[in-house]
Amino acid sequence: MFKAMWEDQSPTPEFIRKDVCNKFINIFNITDPKELKILDNIVNHRIRDDKFECEFSWRGYFSFEIDKSIAHSLKPEFNALKVLRKYLTPLVIHRLYRYPDGLRFNMLRRSFEYKSFKIDSEMKL
Alpha carbon distance 91, 84 (integer Å):
10
The pTM score is: 0.70
The single-letter DSSP state of residue 55 is -
Give the DSSP H/E element, type plus range, for residue 22.
helix 13-28
On whether the CB atoms of residues 24 and 73 are closer than 8 A, the answer is no
Alpha carbon distance 81, 85 (integer Å):
6
pLDDT digits (tens, 9 = 90+) for 48-100: 887 666 777 888 888 888 888 889 999 999 999 999 999 999 999 998 888 88
- What sign for the dihedral angle of Cα 86, 88, 94, 97? negative
Alpha carbon distance 30, 28 (integer Å):
6
